[in-house]
Amino acid sequence: MKKYLKEINGETWLVEDERDNMKLYYRIKEVISSKESTFQKVDIIDSYDFGRCLVLDGVMQTTELDGYIYNEMISHIPVVTHKKPEKVLVIGGGDCGVVNELIKYKELKAIDMVEIDRLVVEESIKYIPSIAGDASKDERVNFVFDDGVNFVKNKYKYYDIAIVDSSDPVGPGEVLFSEDFYVSLRDCLKDDGMMVCQSQSPIFYKDVLKKTRGILKNHFPVVKTYKATVPSYPGGMWSFTLASLKYDPKDGDIQKLAKDTKYINNEIFKSCFSLPNFTKKDLELL
Ligand code: SAM
């Protein structure tokens, strides 16, 4: 058995090795599938409280209980902020939850999802349809199995929106937090384009959030961090950072926000940009 799947008193647990002084234990009903690709270990588990979950290298990625919170927040905010989005790029996003949100918008004409690991997509579609949904059947969605870093180097002023739905900055996801990558990503956006990334926990990984914002501020005129609570991500409170070449979310047309959502609504769209004082202080916004 993989080292993060542990038998304790006859029960199976996923033990997420979050940090030296904190481990997260999830009691598991069943390990549905346990495989390994050239990039990472890929597990689908059925847990008691979080339902079916995607786990990469022992780290919880998305769960049936709360995955929609993250997926809605990283996708609806840029689509509503952009005045006329048509072409969207998703980097990572293997569980397909993000593209499943994007297809709710008829105005989007093409959605390219560039995922390094085909196995993650296959396993998610097969075993967690409640998250992957019908995105793979939508003709606007085009899957590309490649390293996101390579892919963006060959596109110039092409996309309206880029969404970086990466795993943590370790393993294959590490490069997706580098300045070189963000510069290439900016260059693949049209003159009024924007990007959004998950910028980690503002409590446990404030260094990642600060660094990410610092890099983005060097290359984009509008940089806004927003937050949501995602119980399965360590610390609960999670941050996203939107970097835009023209549009500001404060001018977004919230009337076009999709109605078939479970978390985001007009009030959340406005309030998610309000940050607590400790984060404002960390980000030198106070
Ligand atoms: N929303 C979840 C989270 O924040 O934990 C999960 C995001 S999704 C599962 C992350 C995906 O990024 C994984 O499927 C992983 O294979 C993919 N990924 C990691 N590095 C990548 C790279 N360099 N290029 C493209 N995709 C990458």
- pLDDT tens column, 233-246: 999 999 999 999 99
How many Cβ atoms from other residues are within 10 Å of residue 39's Cβ? 18
Query: Does pLDDT of 18 surpass 80?
Result: no
What's the CA-to-centroid distance between 193 and ligand 1, angstroms? 22
Query: Does pLDDT of 281 surpass 90?
Result: yes
pLDDT at 173: 85
Query: Does pLDDT of 279 surpass 90?
Result: yes
Question: Measuring from atom 11 of ligand 1, which residue has the nearest CA?
Answer: 92
pLDDT at 168: 83
Determine the residue of 69, 165, 182 to mutate for testing ligand 1's pocket, defined as the one with the most ligand atoms within 8 A of the Cβ atom.
165
Question: 139: left (phi > 0), else alpha (psi -120 to 50), else beta?
Answer: alpha
Closest CA to 124 of 236, 32, 248, 27: 32
- Confidence label for 67 from pLDDT (cuts 50, 70 and 90): very high
How do beta strands 11-19 and 5-8 pair?
Answer: antiparallel
Residue 7 β-bridge partners: 12
- Confidence label for 84 from pLDDT (cuts 50, 70 and 90): very high
Is the CB of residue 12 less than 8 Å from the CB of residue 5?
Answer: yes
Question: Measuring from atom 15 of ligand 1, which residue has the nearest CA?
Answer: 92
- Residue 30 exposed, middle or buried by CB count within 10 Å (0-12, 13-18, 19+): exposed
C-alpha–C-alpha distance, residues 280 and 263, integer Å: 24
Mean pLDDT of 87-96: 98
Mean pLDDT of 144-152: 96
Is the CB of residue 53 less than 8 Å from the CB of residue 79?
Answer: no
Residues with CB under 6 A from ligand 1: 56, 61-62, 70, 91-95, 114-117, 120, 147-149, 165-167, 172-173, 175-176, 198
Mean pLDDT of 263-272: 98
pLDDT at 20: 86
Is the CB of residue 249 less than 8 Å from the CB of residue 255?
Answer: no
Mean pLDDT of 164-169: 89
What are 181-235's pLDDT values in tens digits?
A: 999 999 999 999 999 999 999 999 999 999 999 999 999 999 999 999 999 999 9
pLDDT at 223: 98
At 250, phi and psi to the nearest 5?
-65, -20
Could you tell me the domains of the chain? Answer: 5-62 (2.30.140.10), 67-282 (3.40.50.150)
Mean pLDDT of 25-34: 97
C-alpha–C-alpha distance, residues 166 and 92, integer Å: 5
**Nearest atom, ligand 1, residue 198 CA:** 4
pLDDT at 246: 98
Query: Which residues are known to be catalytic?
Result: 165
For the entire predicted model, the pTM comes to 0.97
Closest CA to 128 of 5, 259, 33: 33
**Nearest atom, ligand 1, residue 148 CA:** 24
Is the CB of residue 198 less than 8 Å from the CB of residue 164?
Answer: yes
Query: Does pLDDT of 161 surpass 90?
Result: yes
How does DSSP assign 80-140, residue by residue? HHSSS--EEEEEE-TT-HHHHHHTT-TT--EEEEEES-HHHHHHHHHH-HHHHTTGGG-TT
User: E-strand spans in 10-84?
Assistant: 11-19, 22-36, 41-47, 51-56, 59-63
Question: Measuring from atom 27 of ligand 1, which residue has the nearest CA?
Answer: 92
Please report, rounded to a whole number, the percentage of residues in the chain having pLDDT higher than 70.
100
